[in-house]
Amino acid sequence: MRLQHECVYCKKPLTGRTDKKYCNLHCKSAYQYQKEKERPERFYNKVDNQLKLNRKILKEYNKGGKVTIRSTVLSEVGFDPNFFTHYWKNQKGDVYLFVYEYGFLKKNENGKEKYVLVTWQEYMN
């Protein structure tokens, strides 16, 4: 007695074992991939992915250790300032937000929103 009469993914007739669901490994893999894409992204994965992207962007744009860049440049490549790992407050009261070892400070200069990008230093402990 066959449980499935056709491949779950491509609907081709099945031959062989009675408990078979897929006609080949490609169909099995494609079906699992399709199912995974339909599931809503878990909150942890969303946060983790954005932190990784933010770190990558900050690392890419901060080659000199301290750089000032327009906020629109970073936001165009997917940077989201709401995702950070920790912060550091300097003696002037400025709060730098960090994504692991790369930090940023939001500033408004001449009516333009900018970020000062820095890297973590020992004295910031």
- Span 91-111, pLDDT tens digits: 999 999 999 999 999 999 889
Structural contact between residues 60 and 52, judged by C-beta atoms closer than 8 angstroms = no
Distance linking the first and last C-alpha atoms of the chain: 69
Structural contact between residues 7 and 23, judged by C-beta atoms closer than 8 angstroms = yes
In sequence order, which residues have a C-beta less than 8 Å from that of residue 68 and are 6 or more positions away?
107, 109, 114, 115, 116, 117
Strand partners, 115: 69, 106
pLDDT at residue 59 in the model: 96
pLDDT at residue 10 in the model: 96
pLDDT at residue 1 in the model: 59
